[in-house]
Chains A and B, each alone.
Chain A
Amino acid sequence: MEYFMELQRLSVKLVAESTTVKPLELVPVFHAWIRNQKLKDHLMIDVADYNHVPEGPGTLLVTYEGNYSLAQEDGKIALLYQRKRLLAGTLTERLNTALKAVLTASELLEQEDEFRDRLSFDRNRFWVISNDRLSLPNTEQSFEELSPALSEIATEFFGHDNFILSRQGGEKERLSVLVESSVLN
């Protein structure tokens, strides 16, 4: 058994450029999501505001399965899904589930009345982050091990050979892979 295949704790991130939306505005929106049971496949628990922490999670929607957060990051807004509970299926299937989770949330946010025309996520690129330094530390070998599964997803998402994978993050940071469309670049 290859350890990287066991990866369960993973995150997927999307960014929105040129938006006027501030993460703090998400506090009432996430509360309303809980009230209206907006995410059908997640048990939503609470909303936490960490906007006072630079480089922090910003506004956090806590669910049993994982956390969603919207934060300022390098002048952009980043929507992150951090999976915390076990996912079923192969590594590719698990990655797909996490990607779908962040895509669903991004669409729901774009549809919110107060964000219409103010928020648009860039779906030409997304980041997959290994939230598990034991199974998949931030090394070139890990990147190579994860690449086949990511390529399967990217093929489905961007089309065959229409994508680029690149390893990101410093030595002490988690392994983060940018998956982006090569067509628009």
Chain B
Amino acid sequence: MNSWKEQLSSQIPQDWGKEIDIFETQIELRKRGKLDEKIFAETRLRRGVYGQRYDNGQRHDGEQTQKLAYPSGLLKGPETVWDAPGMLRIKIPFGGVTPDQLDVLAEVAEEYSNGILHVTTRQDFQYHYIHIEDTPDIMRRLAAAGITTREACGNSVRNLTACPKAGVCSGEEFDVTPYARALTDFLLGHPDCQDFGRKVKIAFSGCQGEACGLVMMHDIGALAVKKTRRGKDVHGFALYVGGGLGTVPYQAKLFDAFLPPEELLPISQAIARVFGRLGEKKNRAQARLKFLVVKLGIEEFRRLVWEERQILPDDPHWTSYLDHLPAYGETPLKPPSPLSAEKTLPEGFAEWQRSNVKAQKQTGYAIATVALPLGDLSSDQTRKLADVARRYIGDNIRTTVEQNFVFRWVSEEDLPDLYEDLLEIGLGDSGANTIVDVTACPGTDTCKLGISASRGLAEELRNRLAAKSFEMDEAVRSLRIKVSGCFNSCGQHHVADIGFFGNSRTLNGYKVPHFQVILGGQWAENAGSFGMTIGAIPSRRIPEVVDRITDHFVLVRNQGENFCDFVARIGKKELRSLIENLMKNAPSFEDNPDFYHDWGDPREFTMLDRGIGECAGEVISASQFDLADAEREVFDAQLELEKENYAEADALAYQSMVGASRALVKQQYFDVPEPPDIVVEEFTQRFLDTELFYDKYAKGKFARYLLQRHQQGPVNADADSVHQLIDQAQLFIDAAHACYARCAVE
């Protein structure tokens, strides 16, 4: 066997394998020009295949913009060149990952990418510099390890995040993991989640007070709540909706103070349906759920969702997972054991323990954070980390939104050995969960929308802060710094104590990279409040900003006052006055050319490399996707005909016509069931009898191809008959496209 498809066929879940095969065909169709560029763009985004900087075919080299002469000239989306390497995002629901999965992730990174795994601020992994033709095999290898890229990007339900300490945290109400898993599985590929104007992000948190779940900045946030009824604990969720960061951040609003678990899935489905139906589709800047909640008001939104909930057809998936809850739990690899006072501790261990280790609620166990600089680790490190996990904790690894890993269920006795093993592979840095542990989005390194070098700045700050972390005031040490390369907030700067987002200013006739300074965001309380904008500072002066702000905090803060309260107390004016002179007096280019370069980039700064972002995806309706599927099926029918598989070719051609007609019916009757008898009947009533499907000259001729095949069954199993049917199917699909376009105009 010399294809991953053959090699792994028995290990890949059947439906996942089929979806990947379909995507491979869609790639082929696009290469042949048989799939619309925008539909393909949204299709690949929903498979996690994302664009990357310079994929518009040009790059500024510091002196001029150079054309990048990619060979094929084909596009994989608007202004996105086919041959340009891109990014692949991999969903890791609630950050849960096993050593075996890490092994596969490492292999894929070195064979197809650059040998780097990047952990994102939403617990995903990302690969960069991937060629699109390699993606189906990558997906197969990941799928065989139980990992999907489906709906990692595009207008879909993105990775569902959760507190990485869920199940082991002493402050939680209960373990949200099984609920997060159930909702992930339920919504993945759900028909009601295919017609959004923008993405939907969901998060779970086990408690209100800490940050981990960041519920308040998500489209849908579920906060664990416990009640006592008749002397027994009853689990539920405080459900929040309409939160989000982006250019203008919104705090989520309370939808329900105590949603019972049996309503978690159906209410989420109802929210998806209301958002799909009423959410903005044209103005992309207003299309997130948060805008719909504001537009309708939370009361009306809640009413509509509950109204929708009442008419949802029952689905056994809503509650079937609840039967398995009592059996859910993680198995520690080792028995609990306290850290012996007699044990000789390695150098640096005390510092690492102080910042990176927390006690679990289960006595004798600890949670250890593996700090990743900029969220990156190499394939070699990943494999070795997987082996370290196998030695100490087994499968109990999670990624975090602070771009780290946590090891759960570490027997306390093993902590010194674990530390030494992590040091050995370059992953023993202390300073996790402190000001040194700076979070950053990819920024200008790889993002098409990046303005400033967020990673370059983060690395500079990390190095400087690490160097003085030993002498740092404890109040400063516990602060969080987060950096975004632009205003879109992927670095989550709004909820950091000290946040930055990239922008630019023109000084002395040159573009100069800047960062806007945001102070006083609240990381705790599930991202309970957002920071205030203080002013834009040249990028090279940001380290000085951090020094001045933190020094002032130490100097004037009240006893026990946290940074958030300090910022609110002293106010924007005083804070700005601390850094105002850094906004002025730019050196001349001749005196200090570095001032005009961004961190880590020796080119003179420019905004010319920005491209069209793909975060917003393309607005493609469910009907358009169904029509594209019909195109693919008729293409597959041709392939089967070539292989003389007449029965398969006949079935596919027929299926493509039914699919195309269902696409049209869906416009009027979204929940039309799938059985062909119903689809054809509905199509006949709604489109044929009404003459909506009529072609100006051919009238209802093309519809009769469908009706004839539906009524008469399979055609003769010979080349001519099947060929004729395939031709008819193609004509029917063309007519369906024309009908869809006419209806859309009307």
Q: Which residues of A contact B (CB under 8 A)?
A: 3, 6, 9, 27-28, 31, 34-35, 43, 45-46, 48-50, 52-57, 60, 62, 64, 67, 69, 82, 84-85, 131-135, 172-174
Contact status B2-A135, CB under 8 Å: yes
Contacts of A45 in B (CB 8 A): 54, 59, 68, 84-85
Contact status B63-A35, CB under 8 Å: yes
B335 interface contact, C-beta 8 A:
no
Contact status B2-A60, CB under 8 Å: no
What is the chain B residue whose CB lies nearest that of A135? B2
Contact status A54-B426, CB under 8 Å: yes
B350 interface contact, C-beta 8 A:
no
> Taking the nearest CB of chain B, how far is it from the CB of A139, in angstroms?
15
Chain B count of residues within 8 A CB distance of the other chain: 47
What is the chain B residue whose CB lies nearest that of A37? B66
> Taking the nearest CB of chain B, how far is it from the CB of A82, in angstroms?
8
Contacts of A28 in B (CB 8 A): 602
B256 interface contact, C-beta 8 A:
no
A78–B282 Cα distance when bound, in Å, is 51
Contacts of A60 in B (CB 8 A): 114
Contact status B603-A57, CB under 8 Å: no
A49-B600, A62-B129 are contacts. A43–B70 as well, Cβ < 8 Å? yes
A52-B376, A52-B459 are contacts. A46–B114 as well, Cβ < 8 Å? no
Contacts of B3 in A (CB 8 A): 134
| Residue among A46, A52, A56, A82 making CB contact with B59, cutoff 8 Å | A46
Contacts of B425 in A (CB 8 A): 54-55
> Taking the nearest CB of chain B, how far is it from the CB of A67, in angstroms?
6
Contact status B378-A56, CB under 8 Å: yes
Contacts of B111 in A (CB 8 A): 9, 131-133, 174
Contact status A56-B62, CB under 8 Å: no
> Taking the nearest CB of chain A, how far is it from the CB of B143, in angstroms?
15
Contacts of A6 in B (CB 8 A): 2
Contact status B374-A57, CB under 8 Å: no
Contact status B376-A53, CB under 8 Å: yes
Contacts of A48 in B (CB 8 A): 114, 128-129, 445-446
Contacts of A54 in B (CB 8 A): 378, 381, 425-426
Contact status A27-B600, CB under 8 Å: yes
A91–B273 Cα distance when bound, in Å, is 54
> Taking the nearest CB of chain A, how far is it from the CB of B405, in angstroms?
14
Contact with A along B197-218 (1 / 0, CB 8 A): 0000000000000000000000
> Taking the nearest CB of chain B, how far is it from the CB of A78, in angstroms?
12
What would 14 more interface pairs be, CB under 8 Å, given A45-B59, A48-B129, A82-B114?
Answer: A6-B2, A27-B602, A34-B66, A45-B68, A45-B85, A53-B116, A54-B425, A54-B426, A56-B115, A57-B116, A133-B107, A134-B4, A172-B107, A172-B383
B103 interface contact, C-beta 8 A:
yes
A64–B115 Cα distance when bound, in Å, is 16
Q: List 30 A-B contacts (CB under 8 A).
A: A31-B61, A31-B601, A34-B59, A34-B66, A35-B66, A43-B68, A43-B70, A46-B53, A46-B59, A48-B114, A49-B456, A50-B376, A52-B374, A52-B376, A53-B116, A53-B378, A55-B381, A56-B377, A56-B378, A57-B378, A62-B129, A64-B70, A64-B85, A84-B112, A84-B131, A85-B131, A131-B110, A134-B3, A174-B110, A174-B111
Shortest beta-carbon contacts, A-B, top 5: A54-B426, A56-B378, A35-B61, A28-B602, A3-B2
Contacts of B175 in A (CB 8 A): none
> Taking the nearest CB of chain A, how far is it from the CB of B135, in angstroms?
13
Contacts of A67 in B (CB 8 A): 114, 129
A174–B103 Cα distance when bound, in Å, is 12
Interface centre among A3, A27, A133 (most CB of B within 10 A): A133
What is the chain B residue whose CB lies nearest that of A48? B445
A134–B380 Cα distance when bound, in Å, is 19
A46–B442 Cα distance when bound, in Å, is 14
A11–B494 Cα distance when bound, in Å, is 43
B716 interface contact, C-beta 8 A:
no
Contacts of B66 in A (CB 8 A): 34-35
Contact status A35-B62, CB under 8 Å: yes
Within 8 A of A (CB), among B415-452: 425-426, 445-446
A27–B112 Cα distance when bound, in Å, is 22
B586 interface contact, C-beta 8 A:
no
Contacts of A64 in B (CB 8 A): 68, 70-71, 83-85
A84–B425 Cα distance when bound, in Å, is 27
What is the chain A residue whose CB lies nearest that of B373? A52
Contact with A along B86-116 (1 / 0, CB 8 A): 0000000000000000010001001110111
A45-B59, A46-B59, A64-B83 are contacts. A55–B426 as well, Cβ < 8 Å? yes
A9–B425 Cα distance when bound, in Å, is 27
Contacts of B61 in A (CB 8 A): 31, 34-35
> Taking the nearest CB of chain B, how far is it from the CB of A76, in angstroms?
16
A27-B602, A45-B59, A85-B131 are contacts. A56–B4 as well, Cβ < 8 Å? no
B608 interface contact, C-beta 8 A:
no
Contacts of B62 in A (CB 8 A): 31, 35
What is the chain A residue whose CB lies nearest that of B599? A49
Contacts of B114 in A (CB 8 A): 48, 50, 57, 60, 62, 67, 69, 82
A103–B107 Cα distance when bound, in Å, is 26
Contact status A53-B381, CB under 8 Å: yes
Contacts of A49 in B (CB 8 A): 456, 600
> Taking the nearest CB of chain B, how far is it from the CB of A179, in angstroms?
20
What is the chain B residue whose CB lies nearest that of A172? B383
B568 interface contact, C-beta 8 A:
no
B69 interface contact, C-beta 8 A:
yes
What is the chain A residue whose CB lies nearest that of B8? A134
What is the chain A residue whose CB lies nearest that of B453? A49
B558 interface contact, C-beta 8 A:
no
Contact status B85-A55, CB under 8 Å: no
> Taking the nearest CB of chain B, how far is it from the CB of A35, in angstroms?
4
B7 interface contact, C-beta 8 A:
yes
| Residue among A57, A62, A173 making CB contact with B85, cutoff 8 Å | A62
Contacts of A34 in B (CB 8 A): 59, 61, 66
